[in-house]
């Protein structure tokens, strides 16, 4: 093992307004030695999420990935060597690992203090689901829907980035509770799939259709819940103008905003005030004590056939940058994963 080669992606430069392949560099180096109190993980599945690009920018303090540093993400893997109490070779684990074949870790939180410790994957949970529908993506969808959206029978639930990892799950959870679900996604094919494959009641192509006009057509009685994963001000203003009294807005993601797609428009304060709309941000990491509850519910729905965990899988570590770029380009359908 000590003589093995570790392929990895390192940060070559700080990303600009849009990701480019040359923001990263693919290198090979010897597998690092294993010291006392550490474990070596062979990474299996990488989760490609918009938020991880934040660590590539300056200004994240101790969380900032240095130029030449290994790119990080939530990943699952298998322990191949261990001097860390509680972990033995063969254990399947998940944590904040790297865009690399092997990561040496000591079990303590990586990057942000208090987050992403190395933990064992629960028995019966596949490594891909552990970083997808039963991972942080699923936690965000479950907590945002159950705690803030609180969907009810007969309500109208609109979700942006409906073809993404979180949006595809949130919309399905709302359907389980009897809501009428309308998805907003980019591209006709993706819109067609959220209806035909996920059971949404309708979909709006944000790239080619007038969102306001289509919402008026699909939601003539107004909107009860808006689950937002885009953070586009122009979309938000269109939605708020059509919210029903006591509506709820879940602020869960900012896919386009991260890469500079801040379109014109702003918060419609009058609509929020006069309709008593509740807006709340969701940060799943704050609710680690709720993860067992969320995993139990999500897993039960999957086994019962009520929830379909949709995955967009790219194979090969060499394709990690292009897999991440797919998320910002709106090319993925479902949770974007990379299988090493």
Handedness of CA 120, 122, 127, 132 (dihedral sign): negative
Whether residues 33 and 78 fall in one domain: yes
Whether residues 148 and 258 fall in one domain: yes
With a CB cutoff of 8 Å and minimum separation 6, the contacts of 123 are: none
Interhelix angle 136-143/165-176, rounded to 10 degrees, is: 40
Distance separating alpha carbons of residues 23 and 12, to the nearest angstrom: 5
Distance separating alpha carbons of residues 14 and 31, to the nearest angstrom: 26
The beta-carbon contacts of 179-182 under 8 Å, at least 24 apart in sequence, are 179/151, 179/152, 179/153, 179/154, 179/155, 179/224, 179/225, 180/154, 180/155, 180/156, 181/157, 182/156, 182/157, 182/158, 182/215, 182/218, 182/219
Distance separating alpha carbons of residues 224 and 231, to the nearest angstrom: 18
What's the confidence (pLDDT) of residue 265?
53
Question: Is residue 300, in this structure, part of any structural domain at all?
Answer: no
Handedness of CA 27, 28, 34, 35 (dihedral sign): negative
Whether residues 49 and 149 fall in one domain: no
Whether residues 244 and 213 fall in one domain: yes
What's the confidence (pLDDT) of residue 146?
97
Question: Is residue 226, in this structure, part of any structural domain at all?
Answer: yes
> Residue 321: which CATH number?
3.90.180.10
Range of the domain at 188: 136-285
- Please give the chain's pLDDT, 340 residues, in tens: 545 899 999 999 999 878 899 999 999 999 878 999 999 999 999 999 988 888 888 876 777 899 999 999 999 999 999 999 999 999 999 998 999 999 998 866 554 444 567 889 988 899 999 999 999 999 999 999 999 999 999 999 999 999 999 999 999 999 999 999 999 999 999 999 999 999 999 999 999 999 999 999 999 999 999 999 987 888 999 999 999 999 999 999 876 545 555 544 566 777 788 788 899 999 887 888 899 999 999 999 999 999 999 999 999 999 999 999 999 888 999 999 999 9
- The pTM for the full model equals 0.91
Interhelix angle 211-218/233-240, rounded to 10 degrees, is: 30
With beta carbons less than 8 A apart as the criterion, state whether 131 and 138 touch.
no
Whether residues 210 and 264 fall in one domain: yes
Distance separating alpha carbons of residues 327 and 215, to the nearest angstrom: 25
With beta carbons less than 8 A apart as the criterion, state whether 160 and 203 touch.
no
Nearest to 37 by CA among 94, 100, 85: 85
Q: Could you tell me the two tokens for 37?
A: 């109190």
Distance separating alpha carbons of residues 334 and 303, to the nearest angstrom: 18
Q: Could you tell me the two tokens for 80?
A: 């191949």
Handedness of CA 331, 335, 339, 340 (dihedral sign): positive
Work out how many domains the chain is built from and give that number: 2
Whether residues 267 and 329 fall in one domain: no
């Amino acid at each position: 093992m000590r003589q093995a080669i570790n392929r990895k992606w390192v940060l070559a430069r700080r990303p600009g307004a849009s990701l480019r392949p040359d923001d990263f560099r693919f290198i090979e180096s010897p597998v690092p030695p294993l010291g006392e109190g550490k474990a070596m993980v062979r990474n299996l599945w990488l989760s490609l999420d918009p938020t991880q690009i934040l660590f590539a920018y300056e200004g994240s303090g101790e969380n900032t990935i240095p130029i030449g540093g290994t790119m990080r993400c939530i990943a699952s893997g298998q322990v191949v060597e261990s001097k860390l109490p509680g972990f033995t070779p063969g254990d399947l684990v998940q944590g904040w690992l790297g865009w690399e074949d092997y990561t040496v870790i000591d079990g303590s939180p990586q990057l942000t203090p208090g987050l992403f410790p190395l933990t064992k994957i629960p028995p019966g949970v596949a490594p891909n689901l552990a970083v997808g529908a039963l991972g942080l993506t699923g936690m965000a969808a479950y907590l945002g829907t159950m705690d803030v959206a609180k969907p009810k029978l007969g309500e109208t639930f609109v979700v942006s980035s409906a073809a993404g990892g979180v949006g595809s799950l949130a919309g399905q959870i709302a359907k389980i509770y009897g809501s009428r679900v309308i998805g907003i996604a980019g591209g006709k094919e993706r819109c067609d799939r959220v209806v035909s494959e996920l059971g949404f009641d309708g979909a709006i192509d944000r790239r080619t259709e007038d969102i306001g006009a289509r919402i008026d057509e699909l939601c003539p009685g107004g909107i009860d819940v808006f689950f937002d994963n885009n953070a586009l001000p122009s979309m938000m203003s269109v939605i708020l103008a059509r919210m029903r009294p006591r509506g709820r807005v879940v602020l869960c993601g900012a896919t386009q905003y991260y890469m500079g797609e801040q379109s014109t428009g702003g918060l419609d304060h009058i609509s929020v005030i006069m309709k008593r709309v509740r807006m709340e941000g969701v940060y799943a990491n704050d609710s680690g004590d709720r993860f067992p509850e969320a995993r139990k519910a999500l897993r039960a729905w999957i086994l019962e056939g009520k929830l379909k965990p949709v995955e967009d899988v790219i194979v090969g570590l060499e394709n990690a940058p292009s897999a991440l770029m797919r998320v910002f380009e709106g090319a993925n359908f479902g949770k974007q994963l990379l299988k090493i």
